[in-house]
């Protein structure tokens, strides 16, 4: 499952991840006015099914859609893709760019450092 979702498809995935499953009317009610056309959402859902991100259960003539990938797995794929495309698969290049350009406060940097230190400690504990 490495086909990217468009921005519009990602919006629908966010709805499905939040609701767990939803009928067309449930998806449409989340959108602000002017709401997209039902046909537009149906087309996006069909594309997402073809990409194997969305499935559905049939109830009479109604389809209840559900995500076939969880948010964390999708986010992980996106992060890996971004690392490959922009940072030559180098986590240190990414970290350098992120800490230089994200305008982080000292407190945010300290929080990141604690997260990294905790992860290192857990890795050390797992190998011992």
Q: Where are the domains of the chain?
A: 1-89, 90-128
Q: What pLDDT score does 36 carry?
A: 94
Q: What is the pTM of this model?
A: 0.74
Note the CATH architecture for domain 1-89. Orthogonal Bundle (1.10)
Under the banding of pLDDT at 50, 70 and 90, the label for residue 2 is: low
Task: Give the rounded distance of the alpha carbon of 67 from its chain centre.
Answer: 11
pLDDT, one tens digit per residue, over 67-101 is 999 999 999 988 888 889 889 988 888 888 888 88
Give the Cβ contact number of residue 96 at 10 Å. 12
If DSSP codes are grouped into helix, strand and coil, which group holds residue 67?
strand
Q: What pLDDT score does 127 carry?
A: 81
pLDDT, one tens digit per residue, over 3-21 is 789 999 999 999 999 999 9
Going by their DSSP bridges, the two strands 62-67 and 22-23 should be labelled as antiparallel
Distance CA 128, CA 123 (A): 9
Which has more pLDDT, 49 or 99?
49
């Amino acid at each position: 499952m490495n086909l990217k979702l468009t921005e519009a498809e990602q919006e629908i995935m966010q709805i499905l991840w939040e609701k767990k499953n939803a009928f067309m009317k449930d998806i449409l009610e989340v959108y602000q006015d002017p709401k997209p056309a039902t046909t537009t959402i149906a087309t996006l859902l069909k594309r997402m099914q073809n990409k194997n991100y969305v499935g559905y259960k049939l109830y009479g003539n109604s389809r209840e859609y559900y995500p076939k990938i969880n948010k964390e797995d999708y986010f992980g794929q996106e992060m890996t893709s971004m690392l490959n495309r922009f940072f030559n698969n180098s986590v240190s290049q990414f970290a350098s760019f992120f800490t230089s350009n994200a305008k982080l406060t000292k407190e945010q940097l300290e929080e990141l450092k604690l997260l990294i230190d905790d992860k290192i400690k857990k890795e050390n504990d797992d190998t011992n």
